[in-house]
Structure 1
């Protein structure tokens, strides 16, 4: 007895394959090394080139001097390290308003008489430990305490500034450890590059690898883009947010040590408005303020743009108030451009 033939299966055509080799919006095609040039980064490079030209025209002798260019890079190194940590936090959907105060607290705690008795290692360890401790408090309050990042880090800003003032009693604490001070002199430069710049470069490279080549970086993008979807995908949201603020605190501790090397002292006024500079540099570099998108390379270029602007203003004897107004205007313009871009792409 023959069995009836089974009905023919209904098949549906496979969906068309996605085009290969097409760059995502806002990026160029891949280079032979596998990188995609970002239009925003190229624009920032153009802006930086224009600023260098302006500095060279307005104050050619002073601006183009090797010592001044080394100073620009050194100053960019300190806020640049802070900005790397800020980029991770903002990309993960948070904000950290306490970075400047944490830098101040770490710098004064690391330069007390008791700490300096332990020499180079004691100063470095204390600065990093204080930064990590503040990041831990921020992370616990936000991730496990349920506080809004704005409120938690604002409270840390006030507390850290107050504690720094109490430790110093309003005085400047001078560094007496020669091995620390030696890092700021020209004899310690490597092929004309200050050690602080080398530390900054190392932090940028490690930050870029962590952001672009690890699971941690992908989870940061996922948490910042859609926290609920990330949770359903198995990501521990609270632990990851805690790690983000620990990373920001670590960067603040490193920046505090670099600042101690550069200034040779610890002051409760250190890190003033660092939160403004770090957030601004990250935003104009392409990090989305609402989270879910960020770029370490863009943030570094943003730092260089702001530092160059500050240097040009200083060489031309312009008031610091004008510098702050210019920075505020740049922040507003960058956010407006981001918002308009997202509306054009239909992402909002």
Structure 2
């Protein structure tokens, strides 16, 4: 009789400890699901399901290798823009002018003067012109925001109107045809059967991942986006870093412009329409917080592929662009709502 309490007490304590361990493990599992790894796995599953829908509804037309290359070509251009947008949003900003900067860069690098210089010297002159114009526009945005105190939304909205207008003035609203054979030949190559512009997208994505996750620049971007005042007190030059972020997205726009010019063999003031919406959408569903402080390059790439594949499935099934826009809008809203919900749970735990 006297031995019963002494033998049952350890068993009761063991059961209690196990219950507490299981209870403590649940937040850990939730944290794993909320992590970038869990989010990326969810995006991969979503992309896979979308491909299944494409095969079911469009059959061999979707599963064909040429269609896959078409998806990758379309994803490559907006993908490079989205990589730059990831840095800006992670740093707590926003850029509504990326589409207009792409248009201006494409027009500038295909003017008669630029193409003449490219024919006389090297086709890289066109590349340099596009990148410099894109970086210059980003520099103006960054200076206005960081040192001029202009809200990012307003500054980039003004750049959107100005860059698009300047592109129309320079091109006289005409499509400019590429007449540099060396440029066309260089971008017509397909190493390992993959178009050059897809390789550029892969390279930019890889550089972006290293820059965000393995460098001081990336850590400072996360710090500035998470808490600018704390970043300033930690010794980070927040204003200078903000300028660099907008220059970075501008350079990405210049690279995207060259890719678009090589794919269409034209420069036009109509290039890049609604690129800002597509880029922001890809970044948001990829898992980057709109409020800043957290970003993921892999998530952005998956987001771009999801939206591009969705557009391809709609096109193959002869569904309207309007319906496609509605679906994209719903996806963005759901992604933002999920972000907010997970953020609240993180605060609670």
Deviation at 1:55, TM superposition (A): 0.9
Partner of 2:249: 248
Partner of 1:113: 112
Partner of 1:232: 233
Partners of 1:26 and 1:38 within 8 A in 2: no
Partner of 2:222: 221
Would you say 1:270 and 2:275 are equivalent positions? no
Partner of 1:208: 209
Partner of 1:309: 310
Partners of 2:103 and 2:257 within 8 A in 1: yes
Partner of 1:296: 297
Partner of 2:158: 155
Residues 95-114 of structure 1: pairs in structure 2 closer than 5 A = 95-114=94-113
CA distance in 2, matches of 1:113, 1:284: 40
CA distance in 2, matches of 1:172, 1:273: 19
Would you say 1:319 and 2:331 are equivalent positions? no
CA distance in 2, matches of 1:313, 1:274: 19
Q: Where do 5+ consecutive residues of structure 2 fail to align? A: 1-23
Partner of 1:133: 136
CA distance in 1, matches of 2:219, 2:30: 19
Partners of 1:223 and 1:237 within 8 A in 2: yes
Deviation at 1:347, TM superposition (A): 6.8
Deviation at 1:26, TM superposition (A): 3.9
Would you say 1:92 and 2:91 are equivalent positions? yes
Partner of 2:282: 281
1:93–1:37 Cα change, 3 Å: closer
Task: Calculate the aligned-residue CA RMSD, in Å.
Answer: 1.9
Give the match's secondary structure for 1:27.
Answer: helix
1:317–1:145 Cα change, 3 Å: same
Partners of 1:88 and 1:244 within 8 A in 2: yes
1:347–1:92 Cα change, 3 Å: farther
Partner of 1:83: 82
Partners of 1:183 and 1:261 within 8 A in 2: no
Partners of 2:36 and 2:296 within 8 A in 1: no
1:147–1:55 Cα change, 3 Å: same
Deviation at 1:61, TM superposition (A): 2.0
What whole-Å deviation, never above 9, does each CA across 1:282-319 have from its counterpart, x for those lacking one? 00000000000010000000000000001111111111
Deviation at 1:176, TM superposition (A): 1.0
What whole-Å deviation, never above 9, does each CA across 1:144-196 have from its counterpart, x for those lacking one? 101000000000000001011111111111101112222454xx111111111
Give the match's secondary structure for 1:117.
Answer: helix
Partner of 2:183: 180
What whole-Å deviation, never above 9, does each CA across 1:90-141 have from its counterpart, x for those lacking one? 0000000000000000001111111111221221011001000000000000
CA distance in 2, matches of 1:24, 1:144: 43
CA distance in 2, matches of 1:155, 1:134: 11
Partner of 1:16: none
What whole-Å deviation, never above 9, does each CA across 1:250-277 have from its counterpart, x for those lacking one? 1000000000000000111100110001
CA distance in 2, matches of 1:279, 1:347: 28
Partners of 1:285 and 1:302 within 8 A in 2: yes
Partners of 1:103 and 1:256 within 8 A in 2: yes
Deviation at 1:23, TM superposition (A): 7.3
Partner of 1:67: 66
Give the match's secondary structure for 1:338.
Answer: helix
CA distance in 1, matches of 2:30, 2:58: 39
Would you say 1:55 and 2:40 are equivalent positions? no
Would you say 1:27 and 2:32 are equivalent positions? yes
